[in-house]
Structure formats: structure tokens, C-alpha cells
Structure 1
Amino acid sequence: MTRHAGVVVIGGGQSGLAAGYHLRRLGIEHVILDAQAGAGGAWQHTWDSLRLFSPAAYSSLPGRFMPVQDGEVYPDAAHVVSYLADYEKRYELPVQRGAWVGAVHRDGDHLRVETDSGDWRARAVISATGTWTRPFLPSVPGRHEFRGRQLHTVQYLGPAEFAGQRVVVVGGGNSGAQIAADLAPSTELTWVTQRPPRYLADDIDGRALFDAATARRKALDAGSSDTGGVASLGDIVAVPPVRAARDAGLLHAEPMFTRLTAAGVEWADGTTAEADAVVWCTGFRPALAHFASLRLRGTRGHIATVGTRAADEPRLHLLGYGDLTGPASATLIGVGRPARDAAREIANLLGS
């Protein structure tokens, strides 16, 4: 059975909900297809101690401020899940759960969205699938020789299962720092980063990062010199758990090792460290496999975009994939503006 909608939004996490909010405001009929069983997107799968790096007031989707979490300046993941579930209900967004999208095809003047529960025909599609389902693991020599456990950020649940073990955490961003801080008190920790950790000043949070990213984008669009954006400020927001571990002397970063061995890791000078587990906090790639049949990817695997719109397919918009679709668009506070722009451009398309 094929169903019809003016717009199909793929993904019901923060980006999909922001898109739904703006489509609803414009009176555009749409459906949001989400593969998850419950609300909250990727936030419902993170580790318990994860903290946002912005206060609640600066971590909000369009139209509704995130409420403050009792006793916390920086909300945890469970608070974000509750906020997203409430947001979805408040605006009566048409989310269909358990709908896994396998492919998107051109179908005359429509796009056909193929799911495991039937197809949808739409005049436009917004892809908001994020990156959580595509963890990136670097190709490090010896990775398949290591006899211990290897896991990515997406598989990390908390320190309890590693108590007393020797753990190597790889990654100098926010996830790497937060997980290293989480593990430091109860494990023999080795924290490894590509370059020395760069902490932002303790009074800087995600709002400042968003402003820096936006200023950089405006400068580049205007042909001005590159301001450096977020990278000019640092890599790690010192949320309270990270700050506490750092100030207690528990976070000492080592340079990146050159290879894994059966028993652990080895550096270029022959120094070794034994390990029971390696946690790869090495980032993600956009989850865009459902567009393979559209043949939009360039030589480096990216889909070229003009704003949020796919350059070679005007009926398709991409939302929430970081710099690919707008400054800080993979963040709660940053997705609102590109979501608004995508909805307006789709309104113009449908009106024509």
C-alpha cells in the first residue's frame, strides 16, 4: 500500500521535530517517520552521565524553552528525552514510530519513500536521520589483533562494567573528555588524543559555540576571512564532571598511539600500555544510505547542498548533519534556523 503526504520527514529526533514544528506553522501536510520505538531520538541511547554542554535555556528547539532540570545547570540525556517527548505532544507532531526507511526513489514529480511498512509518495522529503547510527572507527594498525574489548561511544553505558580494568579512551572532543572523566575514578585510565586537549574557558558553554559557528558561516558566505569558528575557541566544554576530574588531576592525555597490539596499545617510540578495553570516541558520519538510488553523492561521499537543499535534487532537504547543512545544525539550539529555512523553501516549492 502506498500512502501520500505533502512532505515526508525521515527521522523523529531533534531535527525531525524542529522540521515538523515549522512545517506545521506553515500549514504543510507532513508525516514524520521514525525507526525508534519511543521519543527522544539518539538521546535515549546515550550513557547515563552524559551532560549537555549548554544550560537548558540555550538547548531549546523552536517554540518552546527546555525547562531547567532540578539541581543541574547542564541537563542530562534523560532530561533531554523527556523534553523531546513533551515537545512532540505539545505540537501534536505526526510521528509514526517503528517506521524504518530503506530507500528513497524518484517517482515522476514525487519522491517515493520505501519503508518496511509500505511506501509513501511525497512532493518533498526532509532527511533528519543524524549520525548516531553511523559511528566512525579509524583504521588503526592492529585493531583486529587486540584481544580485549573494543567499543564506540554509541555502546558505552557507564563505568560500572569497567571497574578495576585498564581502559584506553581515544578522542579529544566532548565525548572523549566526558567518558574519560566518567571512567577515571574507577579504572586504570589512559586517555589518548590527537593533540593536547583544548579546554574552553570554564565560563563558555554551547551558546558561545553556536554564536561562533554562526559568525564563521556568515563571514564565509560574505567572502570575508575565516574566523575559525568553534575550532578557534577549543574542543572541550568543561561541564562540571569534566571540570571536577580535570581539577582533581585525573585527566592526563597521552598522544595518539601508532598501533594496537594483542595486549594493548603501542606508541612510535616503543612505549606500550596494556588494556582490557578501548573506547573509541572518534565521531560519526551522516546516515544517508537511504539515498543511494538517487546517486547524489560526490567523490568524497558527501551530498552537495545549497543551504539545506540537495544541489541536484530540489525536492530533498538535509537537516541536522552539522556544517553540511548549517552552523551547529546538529545541536538542539542550532537546528531551528535551518529547519525554518527548509520549511519555507519547501512551501515555495509546493506553492509552485
Structure 2
Amino acid sequence: MRDSYGARVDVVVIGAGQAGLAAAYHLRRARLAPRGPGRPPAVGGFVVLDDAPAPGGAWQHRWDWLRMQDAHGVHELPGAPMPAVDPGERASVAVSRYFAAYERELALPVLRPTRVRAVRDVGGPGGLLAVETEHAEWLTRAVVNATGTWQQPFWPAYPGRETFAGEQLHSRDFRSAADFRGRHVVVVGGGTSAVQLLLQLAPVTSTTWVTRRQPEFLARPFDEEWGRAAVAMVDERTRAGLPPRSVVGVTGLPLTEQYRRGIDDGVLAPLPMFDRIEPDGVAWVPQVARPWAPDRPVPAHLHADVLLWATGFRAGLGHLSPLGLRGRGGGIVMDGPQVVADPRIQLVGYGPSASTIGAGRAGREAVRNLRRLLAL
């Protein structure tokens, strides 16, 4: 049964992570009033819908062992410098506290937990969109979609995966290295998550690292210039309507002192990707050329008790499927955060803004686009 609260607004923001809060900030600066419980139900303004149980975006779900000193890419929200924190504090706690304070200072009545089920074009005067949730329907002139990727862990298909008799889990569901004590863990993936998981597991159990591409460790700081170059490379793909690669996937890995020790200790010594999964482990086909390690011998078979898939995430856009935004290339043709096929839809936290590097800038640009489109 539908709740009676839904109303007509100018803009619905879906998601209250880094990108969604940045968009909300710029909507406030455009003098749009936030709507929600305790606010006048007048036509106009904007509302923020978030499916998380509390402030913090995806940061609130980060592993307990991830400390601020090891968290890459914690960027400030617009208009609110992040206060000094203890480098040893859990990132999930420190960043969530920062986001919660930001919501209070902006007086944002974020509606949570509120999961958006679908966004549909209902036409009518002004070409309205209907944003459907479990309890309400919001009619709006535009949507800023900032749902991120956390709800869409990517599990690649590999022959024999369904036959594996051990445990398989995605990096999103990893809790503690102690859970794997005494079991051999094969970590799959070439990004930051895989590296951090390997370093967590190494003191308590044996591991093997496998990747599709050779990891590239770069002896330079992960600075603004590096971040901008990575964002530009992802932006090229989305403008062409191709599925975006992750920002981290094009940045390489900063060669920190911790990572250097892992390389020296043999923990960060990857094997090429296996060819199939067997009930008791993984296997490589003999005499097959390996794309990045042609001369490196690989075992015919490797025993595994656990397959830990650190294979990243995909954009959570299923609720937008009624709008038919995807093109022939499998992605959505973008012009910055604006969907070319339907400018009423602004995607922040997608493609080049899928990390905190570009989220704030995308929120500002999305609102600038909507001010022109809607004559706000």
C-alpha cells in the first residue's frame, strides 16, 4: 500500500553518498528547498532518497580493519573541509561521521532507508518522471542518480564455478582474516581491494593471487594530477557509450611502503588467471600462452579452500531500465554527468565520477545542467 507522502518536486536525488550529497549541496545553492517529513509538501524543491540504513554512503560498509591512513581517495564534500581525524581510526566510522554532520549542516531530510524500485517516464506537462519506492511515488522534472556501485558486486563467469566445494565470497562480504585461518585462499582480482585483502590474510593463512592483467605498481603519489588523468580516460569511454572501466582500473597501484613489503615478502606475487575451477581448487591448461606472463610457469592444479573474488562492482542502474537508456555499445552515452538520450537524467557516481575523485565535480556539473534545462 502506498504511503501518502510522495509529492511533486523539481528534482529527486537517488543516493546520499559522496556524489549524492555533492548534488544536494549545489541544489541548495540553486535555492531549491529540500522536501521530506517535517517540510511543507508544496510543489517544487528536491528530495534525497537513500537506501542505506544510516549516513555514510558505501563507506559505512567498509571493512573494520581499513583505517584512515590506508583509505585511498577520501575527498572533501563541497563547502565542508573534512576535520582532522586520527589516522588509525576506522574509515567506516570517520567518514560516516563526516557525512552525518554534513547532512545536519545542510538540513537535509534524507529519506532512509528508501529503495527506489523504478523510474518511469509518465509524460504529461513538462515531461514528468515517476520515481517509485515501496511506500511512495514522487513525480519529478529530473533525477540526479547517485546510486554508486556497492549494491552490484561483480562475479565473473568461469568454467566450473558451480562445482567448487569450498567457500566462495566477494570482497564486499569479507569481514575478518581470522575467519580463514588454516585455509588456503585464492584471491582473484588486480585492484586495490585484492592487494589489501592479501596483506590482511598473509599473517594468518596461505594465499595465492591471480589476475587477468599484470598489476602495475607505480612509485608516485596518488595525487590530483594522477586522479584527473584517470577520470579523463574513463570519461572517454562513457562519451562513446561504452561500459565504463573503474577509475582505479586505469590508475595503477601506488607503490606504498606497505605494498613494497608485500612484494618483497612474496605475498604480492600474482599468477595469471586460471582457466577453470574444479571441486577442490583451480586449474590452468598446459601450453596455453599467458598474456602477461608468457615465460612464467603455472601449476596444472592448485588446491583452494576459499575463492575470494575481489573483482569490483558495476553501476547500480537497474531501477532506470524502464527508460531504455543503454545503447548498442552496452553503456549509456554520456556528456559529463548528463545522459545524452534523456537530459532529465544526470548520472553522478557513474563512470568518471564513480570514485570520490570526480564525485564532487560531477554533482556541481549535474546541477548546472539542470538549472539550464529546467530554468531553475
TM-score by length of 1: 0.87
TM-score by length of 2: 0.82
Deviation at 1:259, TM superposition (A): 0.7
Say yes or no: does 1:134 pair with 2:152. Answer: yes
Say yes or no: does 1:95 pair with 2:99. Answer: no
The whole-number CA distance in structure 1 between the counterparts of 2:318 and 2:54 is 23
User: Residue 206 of structure 2 aligns with which residue?
Assistant: 188
Say yes or no: does 1:342 pair with 2:366. Answer: yes
Say yes or no: does 1:170 pair with 2:188. Answer: yes
Indicate how the Cα distance of structure 1 residues 4 and 234 shifts in structure 2: closer, same or farther if over 3 A, else same: closer
Correspondence for 1:15 among 10, 14, 19:
19
Correspondence for 1:246 among 252, 260, 263:
263
Say yes or no: does 1:288 pair with 2:332. Answer: no
Structure 2 residue matching 1:112: 3-state secondary structure = strand
Correspondence for 2:334 among 305, 311, 320:
305
The whole-number CA distance in structure 1 between the counterparts of 2:236 and 2:313 is 27
Contact 1:61 1:332 survives alignment (8 Å): no
The whole-number CA distance in structure 2 between the counterparts of 1:230 and 1:200 is 15
RMSD, aligned CA: 2.5
- What percent of counterpart residues are identical? 43
Deviation at 1:78, TM superposition (A): 2.7
Say yes or no: does 1:320 pair with 2:344. Answer: no
Contact 1:105 1:293 survives alignment (8 Å): yes
Say yes or no: does 1:106 pair with 2:130. Answer: no
The whole-number CA distance in structure 2 between the counterparts of 1:336 and 1:244 is 34
Deviation at 1:142, TM superposition (A): 0.8
Structure 2 residue matching 1:347: 3-state secondary structure = helix
* Paired AA for residue 185 in structure 2: V
* Paired AA for residue 343 in structure 1: V
Q: Which moved more, 1:61-70 or 1:115-124?
A: 61-70
Indicate how the Cα distance of structure 1 residues 76 and 309 shifts in structure 2: closer, same or farther if over 3 A, else same: same
User: Residue 72 of structure 2 aligns with which residue?
Assistant: 53
The whole-number CA distance in structure 1 between the counterparts of 2:249 and 2:284 is 29
Whichever of the two has the greater Rg, that structure is: 2
Deviation at 1:179, TM superposition (A): 0.9
Contact 2:191 2:248 survives alignment (8 Å): no
Indicate how the Cα distance of structure 1 residues 318 and 71 shifts in structure 2: closer, same or farther if over 3 A, else same: closer
* Paired AA for residue 338 in structure 1: A
Deviation at 1:246, TM superposition (A): 3.0
Indicate how the Cα distance of structure 1 residues 316 and 233 shifts in structure 2: closer, same or farther if over 3 A, else same: closer
The whole-number CA distance in structure 2 between the counterparts of 1:152 and 1:3 is 39
User: Residue 38 of structure 2 aligns with which residue?
Assistant: none
Indicate how the Cα distance of structure 1 residues 219 and 153 shifts in structure 2: closer, same or farther if over 3 A, else same: closer
The whole-number CA distance in structure 2 between the counterparts of 1:265 and 1:78 is 37
The whole-number CA distance in structure 2 between the counterparts of 1:191 and 1:232 is 17
Contact 1:185 1:250 survives alignment (8 Å): no
Say yes or no: does 1:85 pair with 2:85. Answer: no
Once the two structures are superposed, the pairs formed by residues 155-166 of structure 1 within 5 Å of their partners are: 155-166=173-184
Deviation at 1:333, TM superposition (A): 3.3
The whole-number CA distance in structure 2 between the counterparts of 1:179 and 1:94 is 36
The whole-number CA distance in structure 2 between the counterparts of 1:112 and 1:96 is 17
Indicate how the Cα distance of structure 1 residues 86 and 240 shifts in structure 2: closer, same or farther if over 3 A, else same: farther
The whole-number CA distance in structure 1 between the counterparts of 2:234 and 2:306 is 39
Deviation at 1:85, TM superposition (A): 1.7
Contact 1:30 1:94 survives alignment (8 Å): no
Correspondence for 2:357 among 319, 326, 333:
333
The whole-number CA distance in structure 2 between the counterparts of 1:61 and 1:255 is 39
Indicate how the Cα distance of structure 1 residues 145 and 319 shifts in structure 2: closer, same or farther if over 3 A, else same: same
Deviation at 1:266, TM superposition (A): 0.7
Say yes or no: does 1:6 pair with 2:28. Answer: no
Deviation at 1:162, TM superposition (A): 0.7
Deviation at 1:219, TM superposition (A): 9.3
User: Residue 225 of structure 1 aligns with which residue?
Assistant: none
Indicate how the Cα distance of structure 1 residues 21 and 250 shifts in structure 2: closer, same or farther if over 3 A, else same: same
The whole-number CA distance in structure 1 between the counterparts of 2:86 and 2:210 is 34
* Paired AA for residue 341 in structure 1: E
Segments of 5+ residues of structure 1 without an aligned counterpart are: 222-228, 324-328
The whole-number CA distance in structure 2 between the counterparts of 1:233 and 1:75 is 27
Indicate how the Cα distance of structure 1 residues 117 and 215 shifts in structure 2: closer, same or farther if over 3 A, else same: closer
Deviation at 1:5, TM superposition (A): 1.6
